[in-house]
Structure 1
């Protein structure tokens, strides 16, 4: 089979499709026929078939919807955000030196899970042994490299070697360029089987704001009224076949044989026809570490909240409406088929269907927020706005996601079609009624196990179950994903800049180290553990300190999230009532964002003071470490620190 005839497309995912609606499985990705808790198809199924598209789905309580028409909101470049402290910012003015990293063959020796991961068991149970043959017909290669200050970002790419000869035919890339007069990262995915994303290297703080500017986008949709532009069809190249192989819809989905032994070109075509669509993830929050491009069905079980585009081919819309789009000025919906197909979907993932039935796929329920619904998340494909790519890069769009103590906020700003310059902002609590955001808890104490269940697959070629999909005591720290994260659909290019991470602003008098996890190289006794040095007390006696006699005389505190640190205070022996001659004489203070790479910010020598205060140029840090070089000014060899404190200023 010729290489061009083996091009693979990213399939559309199904969210909670039950056996009663398997016939609707072709409505995938953001446009899948959303089902309610009982598995009954909601109004989107009727809409796709040409119905009225009447709203269906439970209303939220406690949500917040904000629509702002502030002129120039998306054009401002001031990084100040009231109530937030900027801890990381990447403007791509420096070369991406890590981009020269080699491609590494994916062996799938350590899959993230056995459900819907690329080599997942689900497909084999559905399609049988021919699927394994299809999966093994090519090789996957990956590349990752650090980006930004301290490598706080990671660029992650995936590519396909069609004939397994060690040569990637159409590798994706992430480079830098001047776009519209600004430095930007350019993500280029010339084949829909590739992927290119940015993610954080470390988990996000418990509370945060992540934002960036999208300068250009070319992942399908209409340009000047046509789906065909620049020699492409909906953003795809016109040469060869482009299908979902091997991660197709469930075997019983309509429109194809469902036989995994079918030739590549007989799988579902993503360029046109009933499965034709393109898209881009403006930003998603996912529930696992080190996200990398994978098949789209995997991602539909791993996302918490997201903003994405969904560029359907007219063949896919057919005689139906294609969904609906909100006009945020009139707060009235119009049919997708009457728009420009460059939608902005702002939505959350809910509970999955725990038993999709034969030929089905694992996936989560999907809830969309728009100003037309007053910010209420509804189980019907509803786009909040449409971009105008023709205006870019002279104009850009800003996307942001925030997490606070009660829920997530999704925000999109820019000059949208039909409504002009707007900021669309929707807050959705973690739980509304009995409808949670999937895996919202980043700490065990935030969730009580009420939604725990077993995912069950009973299929023609095998059965499996995966218990404890959301147990009490679980935790799912947040990671964001920006870009083309599917390796069986999506093709095109985009450019972006100013990826920024904020944490809540804290008062300058707040001790960031107070009662945070502390470790040390050694300790004198169980009663003189490192936790004593961050407990907020230094006058409760000789045991109210950290003490070390071993060779490793260092004390470290984990601030638990990146923070701006501008002042450090160390309370030595004399501050706790012991001999002043035991005050730490020579020491360094270091900071790190990852606990591995350290920077010296303080070098103290010949100290005799009971309390030392060190004002430094504010620096982003998650970890603070005191390295004791000479513990005392006399012959005593023990290091003693009664308290270590860290402040923003």
Structure 2
């Protein structure tokens, strides 16, 4: 990548939608955990060219032109106003939280403000940077200023986009300005990563713990929990966030206007995820496992470097009681096989909740990089990830699930009403200290949910660090391949 490279982009959204599909993507069912060498489809350097076989490149951002959100206007998010950031009852000021935890929740909202930035970038503004930050002292300015800015990579003339989030009580993501086409491939390259995990075998690294400032006080997830605000609990009495850090390498959400929000709400809005959850919580929330892609065997995540990749298709028919029926259950895909967060897994059912697909090696970046891609095509989603993973080295993995496979749907897969008949609709009841709230008909017949991708940290009350991304590309099926 250099400043002389020519950026390629879409001409119009209409042209994105016009390209028909070509080949059927091979599927992989819900399997017992077992070696799955067939999933390793490529080794060596990843693809960095233009068009791909069967795909036509319609938008491409290589960040060769200088860009920064620094200096952009911070806009006060006015609670209760139907604006560009409104989604549903699980919004930051949502009626669900008020119903299950007022007066604690409404009182909590009076103690801080949220400021936002929304800045377009890329040719024709096809990408949007979304940033948010809490103003806890109500002085009219955000407590910290996360930024998205182009930077020179170490020892190189190449530029990439730095996502810098200096405090946990803020969020920063990159998303498409418009909803994605009916069928697409979207991919992004990760050039550096510093959002926590172990360094030389320890979560403590100088004055940082798991990527957070180890000495800063009152670092909590206030006020959003899965059961609403906590009664008679001050900001600093909420749970400390430092055990849990993370980053979304690439995820598909079910609405067209993603932005950073309180942690629980996003758990109800995801379709497909590739993320890192760098969490020193093994045994607390579940007995997490990690896949060794070289041997096809599982081991306890307590023995990992805690800089993993979770490759997840979100279930549309089952919800976690531990997340108050807000968060869906997961379908994990790895080179060791597949697993479901509903069940225990492993040779002796010794693991539960999370199965991590592979471990990244941040120390190898930026000389080496990772590429993540999601495809939606021919009634299925495909996850693909490439890079120099722990144990196996450079490799590429692909996993595909049909929209409904073995009777299990991917959450809100339908972009149009015609794609879905209401078969998995249900009501979900949330409970809290003040009472109950029912999310009625969460997936009705006649509904439609556009696809949008995010890269970064969408959690307004968790995660802290920085990462650098490059080469964000959008493809549509190439109708020339059908001739």
Does structure 1 retain, via aligned residues, the 8 Å contact 2:68–2:150? Answer: no
- 1:267 paired to 2:243: no
**Displacement after TM superposition at 1:441 (Å):** 0.6
Counterparts of 1:265 and 1:101 in 2: how far apart (Å)? 31
Q: Deviations over 1:298-334 (max 9, x none)?
A: 1100000010001112xx2258984111111111111
Counterparts of 1:294 and 1:136 in 2: how far apart (Å)? 17
RMSD, aligned CA: 2.5
State the match for 1:145 in structure 2: 119
CA distance 1:122–1:407, change in 2 (3 Å): same
CA distance 1:81–1:134, change in 2 (3 Å): same
- 1:336 paired to 2:301: yes
Does structure 1 retain, via aligned residues, the 8 Å contact 2:247–2:463? Answer: yes
TM-score by length of 1: 0.64
Does structure 1 retain, via aligned residues, the 8 Å contact 2:311–2:357? Answer: yes
Greater relative contact order (CA < 8 Å, ≥ 6 in sequence): 2
The gaps in structure 2 that reach 5 residues or longer are 1-28, 343-352
State the match for 1:475 in structure 2: 448
For 1:247, which of 213, 218, 224 is the aligned residue?
Answer: 224
Counterparts of 2:62 and 2:413 in 1: how far apart (Å)? 30
For 1:84, which of 26, 32, 55 is the aligned residue?
Answer: 55
**Displacement after TM superposition at 1:123 (Å):** 2.3
For 2:466, which of 493, 497, 500 is the aligned residue?
Answer: 493
Does structure 1 retain, via aligned residues, the 8 Å contact 2:168–2:219? Answer: yes
- 1:162 paired to 2:139: no
State the match for 1:545 in structure 2: none
> How does 1:235-384 map onto structure 2 within 5 Å?
235-238=211-214, 239-250=216-227, 259-271=230-242, 276-313=243-280, 316-317=281-282, 322-351=287-316, 356=321, 360-373=324-337, 375=338, 379=342, 380-384=353-357
State the match for 2:76 in structure 1: 105
Does structure 2 retain, via aligned residues, the 8 Å contact 1:64–1:426? Answer: no
Counterparts of 2:231 and 2:205 in 1: how far apart (Å)? 33
State the match for 2:26 in structure 1: none
**Displacement after TM superposition at 1:457 (Å):** 3.2
Counterparts of 1:66 and 1:319 in 2: how far apart (Å)? 31
The gaps in structure 1 that reach 5 residues or longer are 1-56, 252-257, 511-649
* SS at 1:507 equivalent: helix
Does structure 2 retain, via aligned residues, the 8 Å contact 1:98–1:147? Answer: no
CA distance 1:424–1:506, change in 2 (3 Å): same
Does structure 2 retain, via aligned residues, the 8 Å contact 1:113–1:120? Answer: no
The structure number with the bigger radius of gyration is 1
* SS at 2:212 equivalent: coil
**Displacement after TM superposition at 1:456 (Å):** 2.5
Counterparts of 2:226 and 2:469 in 1: how far apart (Å)? 31
Q: Deviations over 1:468-518 (max 9, x none)?
A: 2211121111100110110011100000110000111112998xxxxxxxx
State the match for 1:557 in structure 2: none
State the match for 1:24 in structure 2: none
**Displacement after TM superposition at 1:93 (Å):** 1.1
Counterparts of 2:355 and 2:479 in 1: how far apart (Å)? 37
Counterparts of 2:227 and 2:51 in 1: how far apart (Å)? 47
CA distance 1:161–1:378, change in 2 (3 Å): closer
Counterparts of 1:204 and 1:497 in 2: how far apart (Å)? 19
> How does 1:473-622 map onto structure 2 within 5 Å?
473-507=446-480
Counterparts of 1:499 and 1:158 in 2: how far apart (Å)? 22
**Displacement after TM superposition at 1:372 (Å):** 0.8
Counterparts of 2:56 and 2:321 in 1: how far apart (Å)? 44
Does structure 2 retain, via aligned residues, the 8 Å contact 1:99–1:145? Answer: no
**Displacement after TM superposition at 1:267 (Å):** 0.5
Counterparts of 2:69 and 2:238 in 1: how far apart (Å)? 36
- 1:177 paired to 2:144: no
For 1:118, which of 92, 102, 110 is the aligned residue?
Answer: 92
Counterparts of 2:197 and 2:146 in 1: how far apart (Å)? 21
